[in-house]
Each structure stands twice: as structure tokens, then as C-alpha cells.
Amino acid sequence: MKISIITVVRNNENLIKNCLQSVFSQDYPKDKIEHLVLDGASTDATFQEILKHEKQLAYCHSRPDKGIYDAMNQGIQLATGDIIGILNSDDHYADNQVLSLVAEWFKKNPNKQVVWANLNYYKKNKLSRHWVSSEFKSGLFSLGWNPPHPTFFVKKQVYEQLGAFDLSFNWANDIELMLRLLEKYHVSGGYIPKVLVHMQAGGVSNRSWWNIVKQNYHIYLAFKKNSLPFSVWRFIFYKIFSRAKQFRVTDEQ
């Protein structure tokens, strides 16, 4: 089973090496891993750092794009793996067995099309948020639930049949995709109760209250476009409640 990992980056010379190394160090057979790195015409030394590892990559380029999700769509089109995962340039896998675990899960669950897991956020190298996901049940998205996108692995045929990222959702592209696949089209998925990704806190959508408002508005638009029921107050209440628990973290997590 071949796994394609897509990394999209722009101007992140300080952290891209850790991301690349976390893929290179996986114990899954190297000839079964396809790592594609798409640089959005960085103006710092990011692409020079990528080129240092070019022999270990299946594909890389540096050129302008229409944003992070446009670049991810390009990567999905280029990918030749059976399974596709997306690893952000400032994130890394929790250990060197992540891809082996994902491949084994799909082998044990041949009828499943997607899988996700848990995620830890770090701020200045300190654990700041422990995101524990769960199995999916219809209606969960309307309660503010969604899988951690960096842990979301999808069979390529799903993207071919149901499409990739809808670029009209500038602030909720990843949530719209997962909502569309799981809630609208009932794609069969499952959950691995383990932390697979360490993510750096401080993404664009969470940098300010105004950005959070814009993201939630785009989530509302995603429900509307996919003809799914949505209650604003119900969504906000359950989302705040569920997120609050994630910030009560311990070093053991």
C-alpha cells in the first residue's frame, strides 16, 4: 500500500526541516512513501532547504499558487499513492511508526475510505492543547466536531470521485472537505485513538477573535452549500464546550 504525503509551504525555513525529517524517519518501507512538497515561491531560504533533501522526495517545486489549499489540490492531483495524507510544514509526526500504523489500519479495514486520529498542539515547545477525537456519528459536525485535519488520511479514489478542497471557503476549506465527505456523502471512516501529529499552535484561523469569527461564518456557509442543517447557537455552545476540555493538558498526554 503506497502512501502519499503532501506538504505545502511558504516562507518557513526554520521548521520545514523538522517536517521533512519526520517523514523521512518513518519505519514504513521507503518505496511505499511518496512525499510531495509544494513551495509557494518562498522569498526566504525555504526552497533551498527543501532542495537539500530532494533525493528523498518524490516531487518538489517552487512557484506561485492561489493559496495553501490550491497548492494542496495540486498535490492531490500529482499524488499516485493509494492513501493521501497532508502534513503542514510546521508540523511533524508524533513518532516514526505513524505511517505503518495508518497502513495497517487500512489493511484491517479494507472497506473504510478515511481515517483520523488525535493531535497535540505545541506552543514554544510546550504542550498547549490535547485534541482527542472520536468515531464519527451523523450530526456531530453540527455540534462543532471535526477530525484534526493533519491526521486525516484519505483514499485517493475518494478525492477522484468526490473532489478535493473547495477554494471558495477561504477560512474553512479543510472542515468543508471533511464535512462533505463524512456528513453529506457518508464516506466510511474510522478513528485511531492515538496522537499521530504534533502541530504548532498559532494557525492563521486562530490568530485573532476576528479570524475565528470568519472561520465559523465559513463553516456556516459550508453547511449551507452542502444542504445540511445548521443551528448557529447549538453549534457555538457545543464547540466551546468541547474545545475547553482540550486545553486541560498534562505532560503525560
pLDDT at res. 211? 80
pLDDT at res. 236? 79
Q: What is the pTM of this model?
A: 0.92
pLDDT at res. 244? 59
Output the CA–CA distances (angstroms, integers) from residue 108 to 68, 80, 184, 192, in the order listed. Answer: 33, 22, 25, 12
What does 179-213 look like in DSSP terms, one character per residue?
HIIIIIS---EEEEEEEEEEEES--GGGSSHHHHH
User: What is the phi/psi pair of residue 150, to 5°?
Assistant: -65, -15
Query: Can you read off the three cell numbers belonging to residue 93?
Result: 509526526
Cα 120 from Cα 245, distance rounded (Å): 13
Q: What are the residue ranges in the chain where pLDDT is below 50?
A: 205
pLDDT at res. 237? 66
The set of long-range contacts for 228-234, using a CB threshold of 8 Å and a minimum separation of 24, is 228/141, 228/142, 228/179, 228/183, 228/184, 229/142, 230/142, 231/142, 234/142, 234/143
Q: Which amino acid is at 1?
A: M
pLDDT at res. 248? 55
For the chain, the farthest-separated pair of C-alpha atoms sits apart, in whole angstroms, at: 51
**Mean pLDDT of the chain, nearest integer:** 92
Q: Which domains does the chain have, with CATH numbers?
A: 1-91 (3.90.550.10), 109-253 (3.90.550.10)
pLDDT at res. 246? 60
